[in-house]
Chains A and B, each alone.
Chain A
Amino acid sequence: MKTPSYDVLVIGAGIVGAACADACSAEGLRVCVVEAEIIGGGATAAGMGHLVVMDDSEAQFALTRYSRQLWHRLAPELPDDVEFERCGTIWVAADDEEMAAVRRKKEFYESRGAAAEILDSKSLREAEPNLREGLAGGLLVRDDAVIYAPCAARFLIERAQSRGADIYLPRIAAEIKPGSVRLNDGSLIYSRWVINAAGTWSPALTPGIEVRKRKGHLLITDRYPRFVRHQLVELGYLKSAHSFTKESVAFNVQPRRTGQLLIGSSRQFDCDTKEIDSAMLSRMLARAEEFMPRLGGLSAIRSWTGFRPATPDKLPLIGPWPRQENLLLATGHEGLGITTSLATARLLVDHILGRPSEIPAEPYAAARILEKVHA
């Protein structure tokens, strides 16, 4: 058999790897993808699929906003089963202190050209009648959307295949070598560039990067159309998502096109078993009921867990890995991998082609880890 040779070999067919394969193949590069299990079967399948602009840092805002624009551009081409819905996000403020944060958030968005509207207590109730009374208000971000991410990953992979890309599945990448990847059956695939998009598995292939598993629970209900109309997230979510406490929960509910509701969210470090932690699930649902008392009367169909690939500084690792020539990283997206997958792919393909990117790539560059070590 002829030993295969490519311009770009992508490890991992989650949403990030799929986006990379799609973007590289669109530029005429010879691409292959090595996937250990199935397309979009890891964090891609476990998450909510919320396309959301976040403002934890300037760098996070720039990446999420750029990527949301790319999703909007792609939306008309997405097949129906991707269930793209521009439902918007409402950041729910419980009290006056959080309302002050809502106003700061709106200013942050608007001064950077992103639309956001303040809802007072009354207009929040009108927008979402099932929220409890007495909440202070919220911030409506109409351009946020939701998708069913595993189908989006499949669509991106299939589009890459239609341009000649190969997918090796199920095949396990064992070692990234200069100019090739060795699979665990001993075979070699040659490629000029290698992209490590293996999510929580990425550190095993690139020792020296810190990507930890951050466990989350989700639950899906039966169909209750119009019970919730927007993706609802408590403003206190920021406290939960961006702290490093071992465990936290936040109110985070999403309406699916089917009328089903996805209910989240939880965050746990140092818990690597995929079993449901019933105490954590109960805490998460109790939090959701505090905001939406009638949720408790709905029927749940299924709950599950997944693992976000988390970095210590809350930003993904995108770009060349200084310790190995032609190895590119596309990992560590934590809970924002669905949103930021398309922008990640653009930054990498720009690097490969040696052309400037639409946003500065430097904040996500993996070199920052090494600088920290030497500092």
Chain B
Amino acid sequence: MPDMIAVNVNGAKREVASGTSALAAAMMNGAKFVRRSVTGEPRGPLCGMGICFECRMTINGLRHCRSCQIVCEQGMDIRTDE
């Protein structure tokens, strides 16, 4: 069994395996998309390696974090766009 850690995804508490990316945590929480474009279009992850910038989310209050490159930490606050 991997170590489990607790994070907040859009205000809901979730247990994820240590090593999980913030993006994966959001997807496991049921997110269909993670952000909205400037014109309001829903957007989701594409490259998964930090190049395309499509997976940007607000993490610990900081906007535009590339969630595919950020590993979950205990108590991390992860927010997708509405």
A187 CB-CB contact with B under 8 Å: no
Q: Tell me the minimal C-beta distance from B48 to chain A in angstroms.
A: 18
Residue-by-residue, is A247-288 near B (CB-CB < 8 Å gives 1, otherwise 0)? 000000000001000000000000000000000000000000
B63 CB-CB contact with A under 8 Å: yes
Residue-by-residue, is B61-77 near A (CB-CB < 8 Å gives 1, otherwise 0)? 01110000000000000
A73 to B38, CA, bound (A): 31
Residue-by-residue, is B41-56 near A (CB-CB < 8 Å gives 1, otherwise 0)? 0000000000000000
Residue-by-residue, is A208-229 near B (CB-CB < 8 Å gives 1, otherwise 0)? 0000000000000011100000
Using Cβ atoms and an 8 Å threshold, which residues of chain B touch A223?
Answer: 38, 63-64
Using Cβ atoms and an 8 Å threshold, which residues of chain A touch B62?
Answer: 297-298
Within 8 A of B (CB), among A296-310: 297-299
Chain A interface bracket (under 10, 10 to 19, 20 to 34, 35 or more): under 10
B-binding residues in A (CB < 8 A): 222-224, 258, 297-299
Closest to A225 in B: B63
Q: Tell me the minimal C-beta distance from A146 to chain B in angstroms.
A: 19
Closest to B65 in A: A299
Closest to A221 in B: B64
Name the residue in A222, A258, A299 with the highest tally of chain B Cβ atoms < 10 Å from its Cβ. Answer: A299
A297 to B61, CA, bound (A): 11
A224 to B65, CA, bound (A): 12
Using Cβ atoms and an 8 Å threshold, which residues of chain A touch B38?
Answer: 223, 258
Closest to B66 in A: A299
A223 to B63, CA, bound (A): 8
- Name 5 interchain pairs, CB-CB below 8 A, sorted by A: A222-B63, A222-B64, A258-B38, A298-B62, A298-B64
Which 7 residue pairs spanning A and B have beta carbons closest together? A222-B64, A299-B64, A297-B62, A224-B63, A223-B64, A222-B63, A223-B63
Closest to B63 in A: A224
Q: Tell me the minimal C-beta distance from A299 to chain B in angstroms.
A: 5
Using Cβ atoms and an 8 Å threshold, which residues of chain B touch A297?
Answer: 62
A184 to B19, CA, bound (A): 64
Residue-by-residue, is B18-53 near A (CB-CB < 8 Å gives 1, otherwise 0)? 000000000000000000001000000000000000
A297 to B64, CA, bound (A): 10
Given A222-B63, A222-B64, A223-B64, 8 more A-B residue pairs with CB atoms under 8 Å apart are A223-B38, A223-B63, A224-B63, A224-B64, A297-B62, A298-B62, A298-B64, A299-B64
Using Cβ atoms and an 8 Å threshold, which residues of chain B touch A298?
Answer: 62, 64
A196 to B14, CA, bound (A): 66
Using Cβ atoms and an 8 Å threshold, which residues of chain A touch B63?
Answer: 222-224
Closest to A222 in B: B64
Using Cβ atoms and an 8 Å threshold, which residues of chain A touch B64?
Answer: 222-224, 298-299
A107 to B38, CA, bound (A): 43
Q: Tell me the minimal C-beta distance from A35 to chain B in angstroms.
A: 31
A298 to B65, CA, bound (A): 9
Q: Tell me the minimal C-beta distance from B33 to chain A in angstroms.
A: 18
A222 to B64, CA, bound (A): 8
Name the residue in A223, A224, A258, A297 with the highest tally of chain B Cβ atoms < 10 Å from its Cβ. Answer: A297
Using Cβ atoms and an 8 Å threshold, which residues of chain B touch A299?
Answer: 64
A26 to B38, CA, bound (A): 38
Closest to A294 in B: B62
Closest to A258 in B: B38
A223 to B64, CA, bound (A): 8
Q: Tell me the minimal C-beta distance from B22 to chain A in angstroms.
A: 15
A223 to B53, CA, bound (A): 13
Using Cβ atoms and an 8 Å threshold, which residues of chain B touch A224?
Answer: 63-64
A298 to B64, CA, bound (A): 8
Name the residue in B38, B62, B64 with the highest tally of chain A Cβ atoms < 10 Å from its Cβ. Answer: B64
A222 to B35, CA, bound (A): 14
Q: Tell me the minimal C-beta distance from A282 to chain B in angstroms.
A: 21
Q: Tell me the minimal C-beta distance from A287 to chain B in angstroms.
A: 22
A293 to B7, CA, bound (A): 26
Q: Tell me the minimal C-beta distance from B70 to chain A in angstroms.
A: 13
A237 to B38, CA, bound (A): 34
Q: Tell me the minimal C-beta distance from A41 to chain B in angstroms.
A: 25
A223 to B62, CA, bound (A): 11
A340 to B38, CA, bound (A): 33
A230 to B64, CA, bound (A): 22
